[in-house]
Structure 1
Amino acid sequence: MPQLILPDLDIHAPDARDGAEEIWAAMRDADGLAFMPSHGGFHIVARHQDLMTALLDPRRFASGDGITVPAPDGVRSPHIPAEVDPPLHRGYRALLTPFLTPQKIREREPSVRRIVTGLLDKIGDQLRFDVVDRLARPLPVLGTIDLLGLPMDDAMVLDELVVELHQEVATGVRTGAAQKLTDYVGRIITERRPHAKDAKADLLSSILMGTVDGRNLTHDEQVSMIRLFLIGGFDTTAIALATAIWWLAQHPDDVARLRADPALIDNLIEDAVRFASPSTYLRRIVTADTQLGGTSLQAGDQLLLAFAAANRDPAHFDQPDDIRLDRCPNQHLGFGAGHHRCVGSFFAKLEMRVALQEILARYANFQLDPERPCKLGSGLNQGLTSLPMIFERHS
């Protein structure tokens, strides 16, 4: 059987998410790896087993040449540590992980809860509102800024820059967003460096004072690490949280189960991340002639890792197109796997958990707004960008 070619597939097209489930199924069912000619040509890794193989073998399938689609053009700094391969990757990641352990993240619950309740308090008595605009999107923006110790008043500006930056990647048209974000982070570093006294004090101090292979990070490396936190932390958590709420709005029986057994919220979060796969696509480069998924690959070939397709793989998940509160085990790849597994996954899950707890506590019922449709985005992070809903408060 000839290789499946998808000549019309462009993940950055405005309608890329519409009907994507059918395209993902075709990718999985293909003989070998499907192929996308756009953006220089990509072999698509869509089956769970094949994607796991690629994620766990960074020597053959490397990140160092860039993980975005299209490939980096050399103008911007690399995303550190996401675009650094082992063994050097380990040193950069070690600067972050001490502040993102489950225990450290649990200590942040009070501050995250203040952010969530503050956002819901601003909504006040409104019972019809867009959940993405009013909660799912601002929560990770504010949460990430708080985690880094940046000024909370900068939230709107940073969010707008990140949105604009995604447009730059998608269209190739430079608006200046990338440079503005770099300049912002550079100013923060210049302001904070004289006051950083202990690399173990907080995340930002670790980046400013920590060492990799016995040397301090350069200014550009520090900028890159902080930029990645801002770029990576906003969209993905927003999409996963909105997806969980979207599902519950249509499944009142699951809402009742969560009220009866709040511990099931963690199961909901894991399966919502699987179902949504907010990091929908990422790039890898083949480093040596090899085979994957029944396809012969040559050094220099580009791979498109289709996380959303793999996370809906019926060969690995029962009822993959449903979010299930009883899915266990749940070996999804929504946070990646291996060396590059999402370093902020515990923080993202905390934000989602607190938001869901507060919604269930504040509202008796909620449903999708029949007069306003949901909207889905395109690009590397595909998912809900608008979720209009109607809420009913507890009496």
Structure 2
Amino acid sequence: MTADIVIPKDIATAVIAPAAYAEDAPALEAFRWLRANNPLGRAELDGVYPFWVVSKHADILEISRQNDLFHSGDMPTTFTTIEGDRYVRERTGGSPHLLRTLVQMDAPDHPKYRLLTQSWFLPQNIRGLEDRIRGIARAHVEHMASLGGECDFVRDVALTYPLRVIMEILGVPPEDEPRMLKLTQELFGAGDPELNRSGAEGRDNDAAMLELQAVIADFFMYFKQLTDDRKANPRNDVASVIANGQINGEPINDFEAMSYYVIVATAGHDTTSSSTAGAVWGMCQYPEAFAKVKADPSLIPGLVDESIRWITPVKHFMRSATADTELRGRKISKGDWLWLAYPSGNRDEEVFEDPDAFRPERTPNRHLAFGYGAHLCLGQHLAKMEMRILWEELLPRLKSLEFAGEPARSAGAFVGGPKRLPIRYQFA
């Protein structure tokens, strides 16, 4: 491998380090360097399989649209160490996945499993949920109004609002929502000692993997009971669709049903929570953005898209090449592993003017935060609708908005966003 292809070790380390995303700047600086100097570079670090870092918007699109050439399921779909991969394969009989969700699937399975629940998340169907979602949004605005002009927006609004919406669609009762929230944070926050189950930092690989397995087992235990109930008493909810779903005329097995629940129950709220909090963070950091959206409510859809781009809750997915190919003049070999760096694509200077700024009026806003191609996020329309409705209810009542302390992001190289956002505000 020629030297100019290999990424400097400090840059490659910043790409994979959970803490680099907590502080935001180290990861974004590494990606900025890569886009300028080595937009399709190869990381070669001790203890991990070599992988390509795809840092440019155009290349991420190119890979995402070629699902036959770049698979999601042949290698781990999220980054792991060689030791972590071996650990999983030993316990799954050779599979690189502890879960088998839509994210880990390729054709022909992926389109069939996606079709099971797809209709629930189409724009024409979620429009019927608008009144119910607006009621949930109003309740959260009233809660915020009752807090006396200061709150932690993550804890008090952003975490619970999307959670309530997706759990209602899924069919999980309100009393179980705290459990779902805690399990989601433990699953996605494994690299953050404030969010993971043990509260530990820098655990060895086996301890971290055991903890992750325990979290997944708790999810499975909960959803097994839900499945049994919905098989006996189907209702008009997504849980009933999954519990009674069939692929090729056969019921889906328990492992795949449980995995399906987990992706809907976690991705269905966590990323929306991060983007919702990101909008408030952006409006506090850029008061002119708050003033513009207050003065012109037609900018609310732009506020939604800009907060999703600016935060980019999903930091990466991995792909592996199914054949020798060429990208950006570089030879990719069959079996090569590629890191799709979404925060980098969403700050690409060739696509976004002044990419680090928070600009609700940004148009067009061709961000990649929902993915692209066959794996385009199933819940994107629901997420945008939830955020739009919340801002329609909250912004007319907000007279002022500012930080009331130091905000903080979670440590995570896979999924993450604001974990603390102390704000001060006045209601009209």
Task: Give the TM-score normalised by the residue count of structure 2.
Answer: 0.85
Bigger fraction of residues in helix:
2
Identity %: 28
One-letter amino acid of the structure 2 residue matched with residue 13 of structure 1: P
2:297 maps to which residue? 262
Call closer, same or farther: CA 1:161–1:93 in 2, change over 3 Å: same
CA deviation profile, 1:36-74 (whole Å, cap 9, x unmatched): 345423211110110001100111111113422217624
Preserved contact between residue 33 and residue 44 of structure 1 (Cα < 8 Å) = yes
Match for residue 390 of structure 1? 424
Structure 1: gaps (5+ residues): none
Worse-matched range after superposition: 172-181 or 341-350: 172-181
| Pair 15,318 (structure 1): closer, same or farther in 2 beyond 3 Å | closer
* Correspondence for 1:144 among 166, 186, 189: 166
Structure 2: which amino acid aligns with 1:330?
N
**Are the equivalent residues in 2 in contact too, given 1:4–1:33 (CA < 8 A)?**
no
Amino acid at match of 2:229: E
Deviating more after overlay: 297-306 vs 46-55: 297-306
TM-score, normalization: structure 1? 0.92
Distance verdict in 2 for CA 1:69–1:361, change over 3 Å: same
In structure 1, the residue matched to 2:79 is 69
User: Is the aligned partner of 1:320 residue 2:355?
Assistant: yes
List alignment gaps of at least 5 residues for structure 2: 193-202
Name which of 202, 215, 228 aligns with 1:177. 215
Matched, 1:377 2:399: no
Post-superposition offset of 1:253: 3.2
Mapped partners of 2:41, 2:148: distance in 1: 47
What is the match of residue 157 of structure 1?
A: 179
- Aligned twin of 1:14: 19
When the two structures are aligned, how many residues end up with a matched partner? 390
C-alpha RMSD of matched pairs (Å): 2.2
Per mean C-alpha deviation after superposition, the further-off stretch among 94-103 and 251-260 is 251-260
C-alpha spacing 1:169/1:54, structure 2 compared with 1 (3 Å): farther
Opposite residue 155 of structure 1, the aligned amino acid is E
Q: Look up the match of 2:198.
A: none
- Structure 2 residue identity aligned to 1:375: R
- Offset from partner CA, 1:302-360 (integer Å, 9 cap, x none): 11110000111011122211232332222211111000000000111112112222221
After superposition, the C-alpha distances for 1:81-100 in whole angstroms (9 at most, x for unaligned) are 12111232111111111111
For residue 307 of structure 2, the aligned residue among 261, 266, 272 is 272
In the alignment, the residues of structure 1 paired with residue 328 and residue 266 of structure 2 have an alpha-carbon distance, to the nearest angstrom, of 31
102, 125, 134: which one aligns with 2:123: 102
Residue 395 of structure 2: aligned partner? 360
**CA 377–119 in structure 1, closer or farther in 2 if over 3 Å, else same:** farther
Deviations along 1:168-216, whole A, 9 cap, x unmatched?
A: 478641221111111111111112111127xxx4422222223223322
Q: Is residue 2:172 matched to residue 1:134?
A: no
Q: Would the alpha carbon gap of residues 32 and 392 (structure 1) be closer, same or farther in structure 2, given more than 3 Å must change? A: closer
Kept in 1, the 8 Å contact 2:409–2:416? The answer is: no
Change (3 A) 1:335 1:378: same
Moved more, 316-325 or 248-257: 248-257
